[in-house]
Amino acid sequence: MSLIPEYREDVPRVERFNFLARFSHWGHTVTFLLCLFTGLVLFLDGVDWLAAIFGGYRGAGLVHRIAAVGMTIILVIGAIFGYKGIIAWIKDILRFGKNDIIFIMKFPFEFMGFNVKMPPQTRFNGGEKGNSLLTPTCVILLVLSGYIMWFPAVFPAWLVRIAYPTHDIAMVLATFMVCMHGYLGSFHPGSGESFWGMWKGTVREDWAKHHHAIWYEETYGDKAKAE
């Protein structure tokens, strides 16, 4: 396992994510992780050591609700001010095609360290398109079921009953995805440069050309410059 690649200022860089996207992503990450660890205190038996970090079981319940409200505010801010970015994101997901399928099929070999030639990718590669569908769906389910569990008197009993397993299943799925995603977006050799795109906003131009050739060409290539 290698560390995140060095941030190089001496080579050409191109913008990948604007400030709002980065603010929403990291704000969401912090509140998601707080919800996860406090949620685990409520979910698992015998995790007194984890509960102690949040001031006991009642403290964990309180931090869970505060983080949940924080997450909701960040999602709403991101949706209102970043709706154009969200539409562009959805359009990119809908471009899912042959190159993405080949990417996903070859990815396990690349993951294991084999030198694999991937087909050119759009703004998000096949795996990221999958992540863009699965993880936000789980988060939406977590938010909806979470508020139903929080205010059971407001909702019909059958909805409250299904909210609990929904919350738990979405938590397990989202956590699995976030573990994979967090590793791929930081320490994984080759894709680690993407971390800087999400942290500082830019990635190395040569990396962008190599990993997201279609996106690079459409955004920064000769044709894009001529328009």
DSSP one-letter code for 203: E
Give the residue among 120, 137, 141, 132 at the shortest CA–CA distance from 94: 132
- Asked if 33 and 26 count as a contact pair (C-beta separation under 8 A), the reply is no
The DSSP line for 60-85 is: HHHHHHHHHHHHHHHHHHHHHHTHHH
Residue 223 beta carbon to ligand HEM: minimum distance, rounded to whole angstroms? 22
- In the complex, what is the shortest distance from the CB of residue 129 to ligand HEM, in angstroms, rounded to a whole number? 8
Indicate whether 219 belongs to the interface with ligand HEM (CB under 6 A).
no
If one asks whether residue 124 binds ligand HEM (CB under 6 A), the answer comes out as yes
Tell me how many degrees the CA angle 198-15-179 measures, rounded to the nearest 5: 20
Total of chain residues touching ligand HEM, rule CB under 6 A: 44
Which residues from 43-82 bind ligand HEM, rule CB under 6 A? 43, 61, 64, 68, 71-72
Select 81 or 164, whichever has its Cβ closest to ligand HEM. Answer: 164
Q: Is 36 in the site for ligand HEM (CB under 6 A)?
A: yes
Kindly give, in sequence order, each residue whose CB lies less than 8 Å from that of residue 115, ignoring residues fewer than 6 positions away.
none
Q: Which helix (H) or strand (E) holds 13?
A: strand 13-15
Residue 141 contacts ligand HEM per CB under 6 A = no
Pair 201, 18: CB distance under 8 Å: yes
CB of 118 or CB of 198, closer to ligand HEM: 198
Q: In this structure, is the dihedral angle defined by the CA atoms of residues 139, 165, 63 and 180, taken in order, positive or negative? A: negative
Residue nearest to ligand HEM (CB): 146
Interaction site with ligand HEM (CB under 6 A): 16, 25, 28-29, 32, 35-36, 39-40, 42-43, 61, 64, 68, 71-72, 124, 128, 131-132, 135-136, 139, 142-143, 146-147, 149-150, 164, 167-168, 171, 174-175, 178, 181-182, 185-186, 194-195, 197-198
